[in-house]
Amino acid sequence: MQFSAPLKSNSKKIMLLGSGELGKEVIIEAQRLGLETIAVDKYENAPAHQVAHRSYVVDMQNKDALLEIIYREKPHYILPEIEALSIDALFEAEDKGYNVIPNANAVSKTMNRKNIRTFAAETLGLKTGPYKFVTTEEGLMGAARELGFPCVIKPVMSSSGHGQSIARSEADIPNSWDMAKEARGDASELIVEAFVDFDYEITMLTARNGKETVFCEPIGHEQRDGDYVFSWQPMEMSEVAKQKAQQIAKEITDGLGGQGLFGVELFVKGDEVYFSEVSPRPHDTGMVTLITQSQSEFALHLRAVLGLPLGFTFYGDGASAAYKTNLHNYAPVISVDDSLFSDNSYVRVFGKPEAHKGRRLAVALVYDKVDAALEKARELIEKVKDN
Ligand SMILES: Nc1ncnc2c1ncn2[C@@H]1O[C@H](COP(=O)(O)OP(=O)(O)OP(=O)(O)O)[C@@H](O)[C@H]1O
Ligand SMILES: NCC(=O)N[C@@H]1O[C@H](COP(=O)([O-])[O-])[C@@H](O)[C@H]1O
Ligand SMILES: [Mg+2]
């Protein structure tokens, strides 16, 4: 492969749509390969804006506004980094010959829970828990009664747990309805899922470069209020469950097609593996690969996009802990105890310009045997504060 310099007439350009902490790492990897980088998001000084060659602030749901930037910049690759963006802009750009990663149809399917769930369960026949879609509060009550309690309620378009709740009895349904309706994203329709009483859940990072598919070691994670707080790698699994997990990851990523890295979310009970959802891009729980692998999920995403070989070394076990703030603050200051910077741990601060309750601002990473790494990550994250 040939590599040019950025900011020249012959530069190779990537445009990131969404510029959070995950995109920031993708941009850094792209710059390591001499690519020209453009980061787009809905607010100023987003993490990836801070490291890209150029940045734009735009309403990500506005088709014309997104297309205007795409046509102006003419990127070789368009990498969606968030779910809430104008899918019509991506379809139109793809029609005009732009390379949307992994492809506009995959982005469209995965951004909407109804599309991806029906594709996985009904088209591909993958095992999932029971589910229903509803558009009214009465419909929600009926679906919950049918599926049984507890059940999980989510807007069809949302991420990081926004608008998600668990209803434990009929009395919880009005509150679940309100929570879903008030969330950002698209709550015109809701998915109601039977609660899967899994033993553990994993992310199977899966990369496709057009020639081969590779899997990372399974990542275990702990979620609170639908958002990740701790992840570790590898998650110890039975050989049968691991094989099934890779098989499901292969089928769903082959079904979606295109090049790039995917985060396949799976629930595991005994040797049974249930498909939950998939991100057609690096996954928040995969930040642990920054410390466990020779090529992180961000580096692998870039390699897959460019069609480069996907070989990498798993250096050894590790864990990550997300730092989430409780404050509203227009200029957050993050205090990190010096003990986080050790021979086997460090912290990455995303540089988000504003804090609000529940927002992820930093991540602690530990390299050690899984149990020790997770224990240390739990201990260290308590030593991060902001004000
Ligand atoms: N049907 C279910 N049964 C049990 N737990 C569930 C179910 N659905 C979701 N969860 C729990 O909630 C978490 C978040 O759900 P999900 O991944 O669907 O939301 P999300 O908003 O897309 O999150 P993200 O954007 O971080 O991936 C899951 O990782 C799991 O821990
Ligand atoms: N689970 C999806 C996920 O982790 N996405 C990551 O969070 C950012 C948004 O953060 P914000 O809400 O703090 O702006 C996104 O841009 C992406 O990097
Ligand atoms: Mg998820």
**Could you give the CA distance from residue 29 to residue 303 in angstroms, rounded to a whole number?**
9
Residue ranges in the chain modelled with pLDDT below 50:
none
- The answer to whether 130-194 and 200-386 have equal CATH topology is no
- Taking the complete model, does pTM exceed 0.80, yes or no? yes
Atom of ligand 2 nearest to the CA of 284: 4
By the CB criterion, residues less than 5 angstroms from ion ligand 3 are: 265
Nearest 5°: phi and psi at 225? 50, 40
**Could you give the CA distance from residue 144 to residue 138 in angstroms, rounded to a whole number?**
10
Q: Give the pair of three-digit tokens for residue 1.
A: 């492969």
pLDDT, residue 182, reads: 87
- The CATH code belonging to domain 13-100 is 3.40.50.20
Q: Spelled out in words, what is the top-level CATH class assigned to the domain 130-194?
A: alpha beta
**Could you give the CA distance from residue 327 to residue 314 in angstroms, rounded to a whole number?**
37
| Residue range 106-139, pLDDT digits in tens | 999 999 999 999 999 999 999 999 999 999 999 9
SS3 for 319? strand
| Residue range 135-188, pLDDT digits in tens | 999 999 999 999 999 999 999 998 888 999 999 999 999 999 999 998 877 779
Complex confidence, ipTM: 0.98
pLDDT, residue 62, reads: 98
**Could you give the CA distance from residue 80 to residue 91 in angstroms, rounded to a whole number?**
12
Distances in Å between the Cα of 212 and the Cα atoms of 66, 169, 198, 209 are 32, 46, 31, 6
Q: Contact, 235 vs 218, CB < 8 A?
A: yes
Ligand 2 within 6 A of CB of 279: no
Q: Give the pair of three-digit tokens for residue 264.
A: 């396949």
Best mutation site among 42, 205, 287, 360 for ligand 2 pocket (most ligand atoms within 8 Å of CB): 360
Atom of ligand 1 nearest to the CA of 223: 31
- How many angstroms is it from 228 CA to the middle of ligand 3? 8
Residue 140 labeled ligand binder: no
- The CATH code belonging to domain 200-386 is 3.30.470.20
For the chain, the domains span: 13-100, 130-194, 200-386
Paired with 263 in beta bridges are 205, 279
Ligand 2 within 6 A of CB of 22: yes
Is 277 in the active site?
Answer: yes
pLDDT, residue 130, reads: 98
- How many angstroms is it from 7 CA to the middle of ligand 1? 41
Which residue owns the Cα nearest ligand 1 atom 14?
Answer: 226
Edge-to-edge strands, sheet with 77-80: 54-57, 36-41, 13-17, 77-80, 99-100
Is 159 in the active site?
Answer: yes
Residue 194 labeled ligand binder: yes
Which residue owns the Cα nearest ligand 2 atom 10?
Answer: 20
pLDDT, residue 120, reads: 98
**Could you give the CA distance from residue 207 to residue 384 in angstroms, rounded to a whole number?**
33
- How many angstroms is it from 163 CA to the middle of ligand 2? 15
